[in-house]
Amino acid sequence: KSIDQYTQEEAAIAAQALRQSLATYSDAYYTKDAPVVEDHVYDEAYQDLEQLEAVFPAIVTNDSPTQKVGGDVLPGFKKVTHTVPMLSMGDVFSPEELAAFDDRLRRNTAQAIEYNVELKIDGLAIDLIYDQGQFVRGATRGNGTIGEDITQNLKTIKAIPMTLTKPVSIEVRGECFMPKASFADLNQQREADGLAPFANPRNAAAGSLRQLDAKVAESRNLSAFMYTIVTFDDVQATTQAQALTVLAELGFNVNPTATVCQDMTEVQAFIDRYQTTRDDLAYGIDGIVLKVNDLALQRQLGNTVKIPRWEIAYKFPPEEAATVVREIEWTI
Q: Where are the alpha helices (DSSP H) in the chain?
A: 8-26, 39-55, 95-108, 151-154, 180-192, 201-209, 214-219, 240-249, 264-277, 295-301
Q: Is 158 annotated as ligand-binding?
A: no
Instruction: Closer to ligand NAD by CB, 289 or 292: give it.
Output: 289
Q: Tell me the one-letter amino acid at 99.
A: A
Instruction: Closer to ligand NAD by CB, 193 or 319: give it.
Output: 319
Instruction: Closer to ligand NAD by CB, 166 or 306: give it.
Output: 306
Q: Is 291 annotated as ligand-binding?
A: yes
Instruction: Closer to ligand NAD by CB, 176 or 217: give it.
Output: 176
Task: Please report how close the Cβ of residue 151 comes to ligand NAD at its closest, in angstroms.
Answer: 18
Active-site annotation holder among 79, 120, 166, 180: 120
Q: Is 82 annotated as ligand-binding?
A: no
Q: Is 40 annotated as ligand-binding?
A: yes
Q: Is 326 annotated as ligand-binding?
A: no
Task: Please report how close the Cβ of residue 110 comes to ligand NAD at its closest, in angstroms.
Answer: 26
Measured distance CA(45)–CA(65) in Å, rounded: 11
Task: Please report how close the Cβ of residue 4 comes to ligand NAD at its closest, in angstroms.
Answer: 25
Instruction: Closer to ligand NAD by CB, 133 or 267: give it.
Output: 267
222 by Cβ neighbours in 10 Å (0-12 / 13-18 / 19+) ranks as buried
The CA-to-CA distance between both ends of the chain, in Å, stands at 8
Q: Where are the alpha helices (DSSP H) in 109-259?
A: 151-154, 180-192, 201-209, 214-219, 240-249
Q: Is 166 a catalytic residue?
A: no
Closest CA to 118 of 231, 226, 221: 226
Closest CA to 228 of 151, 302, 175, 287: 175
Task: Please report how close the Cβ of residue 227 comes to ligand NAD at its closest, in angstroms.
Answer: 5
Cα 173 to Cα 127, 228, 269, distances in angstroms: 5, 5, 27
Measured distance CA(127)–CA(4) in Å, rounded: 42
Closest CA to 116 of 226, 262, 235: 262
Task: Please report how close the Cβ of residue 192 comes to ligand NAD at its closest, in angstroms.
Answer: 26
Q: Is 68 annotated as ligand-binding?
A: no
Q: Three-state DSSP class for 227?
A: strand
> Which stretches of the chain bind ligand NAD, using CB under 6 A?
25-26, 28-29, 35, 37-39, 42-43, 70, 88-89, 91, 118, 120-121, 124-125, 141, 175, 227, 289, 313
Task: Please report how close the Cβ of residue 206 comes to ligand NAD at its closest, in angstroms.
Answer: 10
Q: Is 41 annotated as ligand-binding?
A: yes
Q: Is 89 annotated as ligand-binding?
A: yes
Measured CA angle at 32 (ends 191, 37), to 5 deg = 80
Residue 33 backbone dihedrals phi, psi, to 5 degrees: 55, 30
Instruction: Closer to ligand NAD by CB, 24 or 134: give it.
Output: 24
Q: Supply the residues annotated as catalytic.
A: 120
Binding site members for NAD(+): 39-43, 88-89, 118, 141, 175, 291, 315
Binding site members: 39-43, 88-89, 118, 141, 175, 291, 315
